[in-house]
Each structure stands twice: as C-alpha cells, then as structure tokens.
Structure 1
Amino acid sequence: MSDGSLSQDEIDALLQGGGMDFGAADSGADQGLSPQERNRFAELLGGIVGPQASNLSGMIDENVDLKAPTVEVLSPGEAGSGLPDRLVEIKIDYSDGISGEHSYLIPEDIAVQIAGKMMGQEGVELNEAALSAIEEAGNTLAGSAATVIGDSIGKTVMNAPGDTKLIDSSDIRVPAGSSLVRASYPLVIDDTPPSYLYEIFSIGAVQEILGASAGPAQSANAGMNMNQQPQVQGGAPGAMGGTNMGNMGMNNMGMGAMPGYGGGQGMYNQANVQPVQFPPLNPQMVSGEQGNIGLLMDVYMEMTVELGRTKRLIKDILGMGEGTIIELDKLAGEPVDILVNHKLIAKGEVVVIDENFGVRVTEIVSPMDRVEGFS
C-alpha cells in the first residue's frame, strides 16, 4: 500500500461490495463486535444511566451517581477478570423483543449497602430477604433499560424473572457462546467510596440490539462505497460547500424558483430557524414498569386473607379435637392481613356481604414493609 496501489485482496473486497475500511478490525471484531459497534453500544447504555440512577436513588433514598460505562468484549473465561472476589449476581435474561442472556453484578459491600437502605437496617447479612430486596432493585434497573432499548429498536422488550445469588467472581454464569459483552459503570452512592456496577450481555443480544437500532437509513449509508459521493453541479465531487447553493442550477433543470428561496441568495440564508423545544427533565421513577405492565393485566394471582398465626407443640396439635380453641396472635378487631402470592400487600377489616365473608381494605403496605415481609 506504500505506492498507493491496491492489493488483490483489496480489489476483490471492492468488487464484492465490501468497501475500503481496511485495518479496522481488532480482537473485538474477531469476537463479534467491531470498535464502531462497541462505541455505539456504549452510547446506547450511556443514555440509560440517568433514569437508572434516579430509580435507584428513589428506592434507597440516597444520592446515586451512575456514569456512562466502558464496554469490553471478553471470552467466557474472562468474565470475572478484574472484578471483586464476591459479588451479587442478578440474572435477568431477555424473554421477548430480543433474545439473549443478561445479568447485573454488584460488589458484595455495595449490595449490603443497597439492601440495608431498602430494608431500613444497618449491617444486614445477605440472606434471602436481603437478596430479594437487591433483586427488586435489579428488576427496576432492567425494566427502565428494557424500555429505552425497546424505544431505540422499535420493539417491546420484556425481561424474564430474576434469579439472584451471592457468588464468587469465578462462578459467574456466563452466556453461551465464544464471547460476551461486559459493561462497567462507575458508581457512587452518597459519600461512600467509588465502586462499579457491572452488566453482562450475551454477544447475540448485543448484535440483535445494534442491528435493529441501525435502521434502514443507517444500514444503507454504511454500505456506500468511498467513491459513491454526492456531486453538486458546478462543484467538485463530494463537495457540498460552495459559497452559494442558489447557484446549483435548479432553474436550468426545469424546477423553477423554489418557494422560500431567493433567486440569487443562498439556501442557508433563507432557512426558517426556530428554537428547539426540549422536554422537561423530570425523572420518571417507574418508567420501566409503565412501559410493559399492560401485558400482565390478565394474569391471575392468589389472594388470601390471614386472621392470625400461632405456634403449638406437636403434642398439642395431635391432641386437638372438636371444640378446641386456638388463640391467634391478633387482638379482636385488629386489621387482618391481605396476602398476594403469600406476600403481605395490604390490611383490612372483615365484613359480611349477604352470606359471605369479605374484607374492606383499610391500609396499603409500604414497599419497605413488603421487602421486610420477605424474611
């Protein structure tokens, strides 16, 4: 290439429509993503960090600073490279709109902090209740991300139910395939030391997102050959600049004078310039849920009413008979618990409707109490 001539391989590539982007491939391209695709994906994820930081901040009632991520293409064996030894893994795969595996990785100390804030406790252990709280945070992040990704590709993107575990970095559940994509987000919660939030994608899911988000116009432009430059009458090939676009010879082409443009004046001088109207920057705490909740409206869930509970020795239970009175842990007239799928969601008072019992809802349980009810 030093003498300006093309090699036979380069000539073959041009004849096959491959363009002349020689030398652009690197290890990322060999593994499924080019540097340009990695940059596009990083920009897409960078547009999500604002809503995600607002959602997480609202859940833990602390200031959350989440920065745009760096994106790496890694082999499965490199998924945990450079990460803390202990992590909470929230695996939330894509189930509709796009397909592929996906998960969040939160360092253990940050996970403890998030769970403690959500449960209103300090120094919590990462038991089942704490992991359930962290999973709720992960579902919120994944929901807002799915909405933004769905808007960018013109599809409704849905997430599968989450599966949360405390793991070693060597035990990360890596997506199937020869490579994966890892995004690393700088994270600061209130005044704590800086840390990171990590996100793992299967390479197929990223390629599907990028392919759908490119759109037909961008795909067509990407396929243009270097020699396919637009030409302007009276100017050099590919030059849009002339000092006066009114001299493009439109009248000679039979088009006549175009409305809104003076005969000898430049088109840019006649443009109708208006200020851009930006939408208000009000964070939407539940944008993810609002985008997809309509799809769940016809799902049945088990609702029960609990009068109270008690514990008895086995010998007492075996000695029960007709007429035995069991004392419960609730006072007479105290509100009863309303459970959905065995989770407390409200309290109410017992009423009689014709000959049936019913419950009048008197109180909706706060999200904090719901999380504490997981234990």
Structure 2
Amino acid sequence: MGNGMLSQEEIDALLRGTNTPEPPAVEPAAEFNDMEKDAIGEIANISMGTAATTLSQLLGKKVDITTPKVDVTDAEQVRKDYPIPSVIVDVKYKAGIEGSNFLILSQRDASVIVDLMMGGDGKNPSPELSELQISGISEAMNQMMGSAATSMSTMFKSMVDITPPQLVLNDFGSVEGGAHEFFAPGEPLIRISFRMVVEDVIDSILIQVIPIDVAKGMVAKLLGSMDSPVPQVTAPVQPQPRAQSAIPLNPPPQQNQTSSSGYAQPQPNYPPTSVQPAQFAPLRPTNLKVNQDNLGLILDVPLQVSVELGKAKKTIKEILELGPGSVIELDRLAGEPVDMIVNGKLVAKCEVVVINETFGIRITDIVLPSERMTTIQ
C-alpha cells in the first residue's frame, strides 16, 4: 500500500477480518494420468508376479499376489491408511533406474515368512522380530526384489539392478514412527496395493510405494522399449555339403542376383552336378599309447583328495538347533564303503583303516571311466 492504494490481497484480508493476506495456494503436484497408472500397474503386476514365484520357492508354499490397485497419495495418507507395526523394505536401484521404492508389509507377515523359511508351519509367529529373523526376511526380500529387477530388465530391454534391500521396523500408528521418516512432507507418491495370500497362513495387503518421479521414469522406460524397433537379424546362407562336381573351379564371372529376402539365388546355365555317396574306411579299435614324456609335464600338479563319509539334508531351523553333542544321521550304513573324491570327482570306493593312531583309507574299488563321466555330468 505504498502508493495509497489497497492491493487485492489486502482487500480480501480486510473482508476476512484479518490484516494478514491469505498465503498463495500451493502448486498441485505433477499429475499422473490414467495411462501412466495403467503402465506402472502393469510393471508392478509382472515384476511382483515374478517375486511371488521366488517367495513361493523359498517358503515351499503357494504364493498368490492379486492384480494391483494404483493411486496417487502422500506420506501422511500412507501413515493413516496403514496404522500397524510394519516392516519397510527400502530398495535402491543402482542400474537402469534412478531412485528407490519401498515395500511395506506387516511385522506379523514378516514373522510368518521367516517361520516358514526356518521349517515352521507359520501358524504361531513371534510377536517381535529378532536379529536372526530380520536377517532371514532381508534375504527373502533380496531374492524377491532381485527377481523383480530381472523381470523389469526384460520389460525395459535394458539392465536393471538393485542394491541389497535395507529393512526398517516402523510403527506408522505411533507418534514417533511415520512415513515422514522416509518421504518429504507433501511429496507425491504412487501407492500400489496388492493382496498377498500364502495358502492358509497369510492373507493381507502388501504395499509398494514409489516416488512419482521414479514412477514416471519407469513408465518412460517401458514406453521407450515398446517404441524401439526390434533389430532385424538376417540369417546367413548355409553352406552346402561339398561333393564331386563337374562344375569348373573358375567359372566365368556373372552378375549376382539377389531376391527381395536377401538370399542369393542360384545361377542358371550351370552344367548338371554329379553327386556320389561318400566312402569311409571301416573303423577298427586301437590301443592308444600314452606318451610318458608328455604325462611327465603334469605329474607334479597338486590335487585335492578328500573322503566323504556320508551326507544329510537339514532345514535352517534344524541347523540352528545344533550344538555340542548333537548327533546327525547320515545316508550311509555302518561298514559301507566311503567315497574318495579327487578335485570334486568320485574316483574310488574305500574302507576306513587306522594307521599309527591316524585315520586312513584302503582303496577297494576304482570307479570305471564311464561311471566317472556320469558323476561329471
């Protein structure tokens, strides 16, 4: 009001009964249109479908992840809509995509997943996650998101790679916890909601949260890969088998003719070709002699010789329960021959003996070369 005239903002403030002008409206966040929502939903659907297959193999149970629902939200809304103790998986990209995205699942679901990985039935999950359980869920998320990145590499036709995911235990319902710890206040986010079902132990919501600029980058990658032309590969002309021919070795030069497909056309006016079946001498078995001079070149090469008493297959839970005095039953009977392994290959069957208070082996049978080839395969 330096010139004695009231500005429009001051007039509006007087009408409201205050001397403070109304603050300017905040610019709306960048829009994310329906086409982009469909594209990011398709990316999430394919990548998380691959991740579900990986999780199913880890748990030994069928894992179903439904078609995702995509919407635009912000950190505060995520906190209000998911007010339960959660595990936040921070997945940062190091190749192909700039930025990161987040997976949010409940701590109960994480506890069930770890229990299944350790051989449990998943029906009595622990209320709190120990350091060992956090390490287990980290490995599961690492393999899941790694397979998801591989599927995105196929979609984008360029390599996508991630760093090992970082896990954070967070309670969105508490005063201290909240989405603001991971996102700037008011930052627009793309929320992708899945329903995750693991047979009869898990039926809940899995949320993927992506900053809008990262989501737009993914959509641009997908649309760019769809617009890029498929490289044309021309199959080379396969050479014909050589046979006795009456064609002269140096025929007069003629202009080559090429069809529209790019393949060379046979030249006319050549004399007929005489083809005869090939004749081979019969094969006779011979005794190969080893050149001792050449064998001497490798006689001093060291080889690792080990003896395998037996094997056993255990779950992670059973391994963690081992301690001093634990007994492990092997797959071999008492008194049965043991295997002598040379550089990882089965070479002979042996029996265990004692030599001057030291264990040793006596070779009882040499494995045939044909059997050794089977072990190599």
TM-score (norm: length of structure 2): 0.49
Structure showing greater Rg: 2
